[in-house]
Amino acid sequence: MRYGLFLPNFGPFGDARCLAELAARAESAGWDGFFIWDHIVFSTSDIYAVADPWVALTAVAAATQRLRLGVLMTPLSRRRPWKVARETVTLDRVSGGRLIFGAGLGHPPDDFRPFGEAWSERERAGLLDEGLELVTSLWTGQEVRHEGEHYTIGPVTFQPTPVQRPRIPVWVAGLWPHKLPFKRAARWDGVVPEMADRSLPKVSDVAALTSYIAMYRDSQDPFNVAVNGHDCWAHQPEIEDYAEAGLTWWLERVDPERAFSEPEARALIDRGPPR
């Protein structure tokens, strides 16, 4: 089991220097990963300072040597896939091959509607699937020609390629027990499940969703399942059961509902993961 931190990119953490300092602290305390959210404003009623997640992760990469890092989750529908391909390869190379690329539909609506972004789930899902195909094709360093429902590009070739082979790991978000996101995740390298009622997935939920994904996997490569929740120390007695069910990562969540200040985050980080 690996343990990571999962922090907002807004509010007290809407400063890349703060996130870099916390990441360095996390590495010293023995955490395995450092992941941040991807929001443009988060809320139109509560005004927060917001850090661009990709710029912030560059600072995180420069401040650390070992931590896996990533943005969980990037709503690919509102980003140009070719720009994301450039950003992710650059960050993978800066970090020495430590990036994990997380993608999903996105939430909440305040991040979409003020900017005229696509909001229907069907449209965002189509943009996500086609966007993932484009991003990963551009990572290969081979010539890409693409004509799809949403994008037409090429011929074009991107260099350099990522450090990681065969590609930067792609984790996909999904709300269980809705099945379509997990069928999508089976084509990639990992999944970050949440429950439709926003509760922490139970061991039985993890077992059910991993079994469902296995039905659609056509690869024997390792597949990661990462849940985000509060108080990993209190859940330590269940960790072995979670691992047997297929869980590979616990992401300790910092958010506005709980530890939403730098001192609180530092205290949480300094506890270190429950080895």
pLDDT digits (tens, 9 = 90+) for 187-245: 999 999 999 888 999 999 999 999 999 999 998 899 999 999 999 999 999 999 999 99
- Does residue 163 sit within a domain? yes
Q: Are strands 170-176 and 99-104 parallel, antiparallel or unpaired?
A: parallel
- Does residue 92 sit within a domain? yes
pLDDT digits (tens, 9 = 90+) for 156-191: 999 999 999 999 999 999 999 999 999 999 999 999
What CATH number does residue 64 fall under? 3.20.20.30
- Does residue 180 sit within a domain? yes
pLDDT digits (tens, 9 = 90+) for 50-84: 999 999 999 999 999 999 999 999 999 999 999 99
- Does residue 264 sit within a domain? yes
Look at residue 246 and tell me whether its pLDDT is greater than 90.
yes
Count structural domains, the chain.
Answer: 1
Q: What is the pTM of this model?
A: 0.96
pLDDT digits (tens, 9 = 90+) for 126-165: 999 999 999 999 999 999 999 999 999 999 999 999 999 9
Q: Are 190 and 226 in contact (CB under 8 A)?
A: yes
* Cα dihedral 177/224/216/38 (nearest 10): 60
Q: Are 201 and 176 in contact (CB under 8 A)?
A: yes
- Does residue 208 sit within a domain? yes
- Does residue 56 sit within a domain? yes
- Does residue 275 sit within a domain? no
- Rounded to 5 degrees, φ, ψ at 195 are -85, 150
Q: Are 100 and 162 in contact (CB under 8 A)?
A: no
- Does residue 36 sit within a domain? yes
Parent domain of 114: 2-270
